[in-house]
Amino acid sequence: MFRLGSITGSNSAVFYPENDIPSLVGKVILITGGSAGLGKQSLIYLAQKKPSEIWFTSRTRSEAEETCKDIRKHAPDATIKPLILDLGSFKSIQSAAQLLLSQINRLDILMLNAGVMGIAPGLTEDGFEIQFGVNYLGHALLTKLLLPILKTTASKGHTVRVVVLSSYSHWNAPEGGIQFQHLKTTAEQIPTLQRYAQSKLANILLARQLAKEHPEVTFVAVHPGAANTDLQAGVTGIGLMERILNATVNRFLLYQPVETVAKHQVWAATTVKELTNGEYYDPLGLLGKRRPEATDEDLATRLWNWTEEELKVFSTLEG
């Protein structure tokens, strides 16, 4: 049984960003998917605390420029920098990482926020099921490319955190958790929201395994809460029962405003409380209720090894 607050993020009301986020002076931050929804609201909250630089990814230059204008209304003096990135393209991820690393000398917070949900069957540019490819694999590659600077920052005595967005809906992943045999197909035989859930379960396993491999950096997966965003509005190809459930959730106000829900990922990125490395958190700061596969060491190792193999050609940068 889920706690209502842990599903919706409504108990995030106990966190007040203007008072509870500590000063971020000197810190460098990167948020993926910062042009809308939870990512954009996270940008607003964090930019107001005066980090040295706050970067965000966007798919288009025009979208990025509009976002910069909007953020500066809330934080006029913030140093906000866009990074054009398509998480469905390994080449785009390589290029963006290369550019970022040429511009920064530390990275304190990496928020893996971007994602797609419930979209029609498709493949990424590199031939992976699109929701798994964007939500999990693209972020896994980006993190791998940025690990050296994350670890260097940590080695200088700074607290370094990687916040991986997951979802309570990881409970809806297919039998066995991850169906490896379908990851390089459109996986049309798996309902669209189960494909989404599979990617979110993989994100929990990613944080868990990264914490084991690189304990000097803190990696946590978070369910931010059920947000009323364009991500929900974009769900397509779902069945009648799923449509009824979606309507019921809206009817009883389980979806919360982004201003409420974004607090959890911001809390995870900035709280002075010591976090358990590799843990999964429900909002706000509650140890999350996970399906058994989310703590399956064999599954985590299998996914890690599969990911390393699929990414090995793209895991290094020129120069």
User: Catalytic residue numbers?
Assistant: 196
Instruction: Give the three-state DSSP class for 49.
Output: coil
Instruction: Give the three-state DSSP class for 162.
Output: strand
Instruction: Give the three-state DSSP class for 83.
Output: strand
What is the length of the chain?
A: 319
Distance between the two ends of the chain, CA-based, in angstroms?
A: 51
Question: β-pairing, 80-84 with 53-58?
Answer: parallel
Strand order in the sheet with 161-165: 80-84, 53-58, 28-31, 109-112, 161-165, 218-222, 280-282, 286-287
Written as six digits, the tokens of 158 are 């700074």
Q: Token pair 């989310």 is at which residue?
A: 294
Type of residue numbered 176? G
Number of H helices, E strands in the chain: 12, 8
Q: Which residues contact 9 (CB under 8 A, 6 or more apart)?
A: 224, 225, 226, 227, 256, 260, 261, 263, 264, 283, 284
Q: Which residues pair with 58 in a beta bridge?
A: 84
Q: Are 268 and 161 in contact (CB under 8 A)?
A: yes
Separation of alpha carbons 159 and 36, rounded Å? 27
Q: Which residues contact 95 (CB under 8 A, 6 or more apart)?
A: none
Q: Are 235 and 199 in contact (CB under 8 A)?
A: no
